[in-house]
Structure 1
Amino acid sequence: MTGRIEEVHGLDPAQLHTQLPGWTTPKVLRGLVAHWPMVAAARTSAAAAVAHLKQFDHGQLPVTATTAPPQAQGRLFYNADMSGFNFRREQIALKVVLDTLLKYQPDPDPPGIYVASTTLDSFLPGFGTCNPLALGVDDPLASIWIGNRSRIAAHQDVPDNLACVAAGRRRVTLFAPEQIDNLYIGPLDFTPAGQAISLVDFAAPDLQRFPRFAQALAHAQVAELGPGDAVFIPSLWWHHMEGLDTFNVLVNYWWRPVPAWMDAPMNALMLAMLALRELPPQQREQWRTLFDHYVFHADPDTAAHVPAHARGVLGALDANTAAQVRSVLRRRLER
């Protein structure tokens, strides 16, 4: 019932910067980072990949390691009654994590071990120079993800994302943002890792509890990635990520093609829930009209009738006006 993510073959990594900034739909880029020494090491063995990583580990900062019992089968999720989670986190030296992953490689039923979203420049300085990729976007944040078999529930991120498989195999399942109704998303403010997630277990979906998930699957896009492959995940696309091997490494790059002064959209959503969701239906519709006028359908004509010097937040925003808006909001929220 699922489709395949559009694939791009033979793209010269040196030409990525000429194409990536304009993409708005998902793409698999086969062999994009096959030239990385990290990929070559991973194709030799997990031990060689670990040795490659260790040469950049200065050992001065512990990483956050997530561990789950074997019965979780790599699914990092809530506990049974959603009062907590089925994993624990601890601060530990990266080399200890790497050695532990190698130790458990022969184990058919190991605990889940996962180091998520660890900033490359801070924890593995020099890795990016040795394994380069020119994206052609401003200020990308490069992170590394290391672990054994894992299943990360479908979630969405605000930034665009280029995820590169450096070791092991990954299965990625994508859904367009409009599939939110069919994915049964959990709490916004109590989440396993900061982002709201789908409550559906993709390995064994309960279609009695989550019947609309069948519709989501009908619109899913899926790909399996090997070492050297990459996938572009546009902003707000839901993505379910699986590490399929006993040792997996992913390097990803996040970026937002917007001015740095812009605020996080989730802040606006949470405030809208606080201010609008419980209004009577007729009033909510009236506010929808205002949002369409001032936000979603705003154009140069929206405030053209107001003298430029008097437009305030109706005019062009910049860092100064953004700071003024934040100041006003802080005062109003503190009431």
Structure 2
Amino acid sequence: MPAVMWSCGPLNGTGGAEDQPLCQHLHLVLSVFSLLYLVAGVPVGLGYNALLVLVNLHDQSSMTMPDVYFVNMAVAGLVLSALAPVHLLGPTASGWALWGFGSEAHVTLLVLFNVSSLVTMYSTALLSLDCYIERALPRTYMSSVYNTRHVCGFVWGGALLTSFSSLLFYVCSHVAARIVECSKMRDAQAADAIMVFIGYVVPALAVFYALALISRIRKADTPLDQDAGRPDPSVHRLLVATVCTQFGLWTPHYLTLLGHTLLALRGKPVDRHHLGILLFAKDVARFLAFSSSSVVPLLYRYINRNFPSKLRRLIKKMHCGRQSCSPDQAGVQQVMA
């Protein structure tokens, strides 16, 4: 059994002797970063995502449109943080697996991962579009909290329906001998192609379009810039940081899905050397995708101006318990904060 989480097994016997040390060093570095993420990143992701959800749900009257989308992404981040140990240490890794599970559990975890990735990407895209609407038409209330909550409900429903294709391919792989139609759907690469197009290409186009429109508005000096009801400037910084983070960390994952699909379309068996490279790239992409669940709530914590005050109100309510705080107690706690 190898001493690291991922091994160079697929590359053995395919490259020269000079390639083996480099391969071993790369897998060792990836193993160290992954273990550090499991020890530190997963608790941070679970803690900050849960805190983001609790703080906003506790003070729903002060929630804004961006807050609703970040709560949506935080829920998806909680799912990703819970799935990270299973994916990074389980049989989906290309080398050493600490445990194993059946095909049914594997498909269930895959569906949950796909749902979380779709919710994350579409929440980012819709946040960009709504920020443009709110900046261009600040007093029309088209991007209100009420509308955003319903939109997020449709996002989760659409993510579940799209991820259902993974379950459909699994079912067809078991009954293909009896149903001729399912025999044409046995390739998992079709599900990967669907995920690349729906889960990455579509939201990427929406985000680029929204950012281009926002940049045009920011360049134009209009009377709306002096309007007291215009969006908080920190929202734009948070939007840009979130878009760059999400697409920067999720792009490698969708590129590996695209590469797997293109290799399958060649109709030729993949040699061990290319298979090893693909598995290593898949492990790196999976690690980056899971790390987004802990990075985004940290961005929200340190860029959003309203979060500290909401957090103080939540802590004050938890400290007072069921009894309401007196004005003196509240004033003393604010001075101490």
TM-score (norm 1): 0.22
Structure with greater helix share of residues: 2
TM-score (norm 2): 0.22
User: Rg bigger for which structure?
Assistant: 2
